Chain A
Amino acid sequence: MPSRILIVDDSSLSRRVVRGILESEGHEVTEAADGMAALERFSLEKPDLVVLDMVMGGMDGFDVLQKLRQIDGQAKIIVATADIQRSTREMTEEGGSRGFVTKPIKKEELLSLVNSVLEERPA
């Protein structure tokens, strides 16, 4: 089912790659290049899902994760990052993310995670 998805990443290449993958499945995509823009867009547009990078200048990914969940406790957020430390994965899970993919992103992995998270009932 096509949905509205917000991509948050300071790398324009990453945003382009993820956009390409999601649009190929018919999803509608918007973007934010940093934490502040992410919070604004999220509040205004109420996307069905957020794909969040963790390593960004300015607000760090954990802050963004926390603040998004403050805005909406049911927010569906998945993390897509180059930071493959196990502790990062654990911390994002504790912070309420619904899934974790590592860069470079594999199209099938991302799509199947997006689909399963979109299908989840509200927590």
Chain B
Amino acid sequence: MTELNARQADALTELINIAFGLTAAKLSEISNHRVLLETPTLAIHPMDALARDLGLFVTGEVASVHQVFAGPFSGDAVLLLNYESAVKLSNLFVEEHLQSQRLDSSTGEILAEVGNLLLSACLGVFGNLLQARVTFSMPRLHLDSLEEFLTSIAIGSGESQNAVAITASFHIREQSVDGRIVVVLDAPSLEQLIQAVERWEGAQSSA
């Protein structure tokens, strides 16, 4: 299990911070609401610990938008929301008389679109700053239980028990929307990512 030293952890957190800055700005632009950014929590969980961590965050059904990505590092980038936040997030983009209390095909469509923008921004910042090219798939929207969600995560090597998840939170305070972005990678990809992050950190520090 790869451990990060303090410098690596710091650099990766900073990278995520920047990715989140762009992500939040996009969300803010399309929803016309201010997005409260938290210092991203860099947590690297093996998959069983991910279950525990997410279990604290979501109860009941989980709405997730997945964007599988490939490149020097590959995995699955996920926008994760509980049912309530998913509905609230979708409703930010529609006029009041069109708002829904449930996740249906039209709110689902909005969520997939929002997920696409956010996840592409996040992955794109990684690609740009780490001088890597990341390709990503069409976003897929799922609504399931937490267990089903965890099994739906796509890891290239298929060794999901060795996968790690990098998680970070975002909030739209006024509307009580709480979401997580979870990037799941297998161990070789994490290794690639860390090396790329170290190169970036080195370049930044000596600029």
Given contacts A11-B10, A13-B204, A21-B207, contact A85 B39 (CB under 8 A): no
CB of B28 within 8 A of CB of A82, answer: no
Interface residues in A31-74 by Cβ distance below 8 A to B read 55-57
Contact A87 B34 (CB under 8 A): yes
- Among residues of B, the one whose C-beta sits closest to the C-beta of A60 is B36
Query: What secondary structure prevails in chain B residues at the interface with A?
Result: helix
Residue of A nearest to B206 (CB): A20
Interface size on A, residues (CB 8 A): 24
Alpha-carbon separation in the docked complex, A14 to B15 (Å) = 10
- Among B22, B38, B129, B205, which residue has its beta carbon within 8 angstroms of that of A84? B22
B129 and A16 form a contact (CB under 8 A): no
Categorize the interface residue count of chain B.
Answer: 20 to 34
- Please name all residues of chain B whose beta carbon is closer than 8 Å to the beta carbon of A10 when the two chains form the complex: 39
Say which residue of B10, B22, B39 sits within 8 Å of A57 (CB atoms). B39
Tell whether A104 pairs with B25 under 8 Å between CB atoms, given A20-B207, A85-B34: no
| A81 (CB) vs chain B CBs: closest residue | B21
Residues in chain A near residue B6, CB distance under 8 A: 12
Contact of A13 among B14, B25, B28, B39 (CB under 8 A): B14
Q: Could you tell me if A103 and B24 are in contact, using CB atoms closer than 8 angstroms? A: no
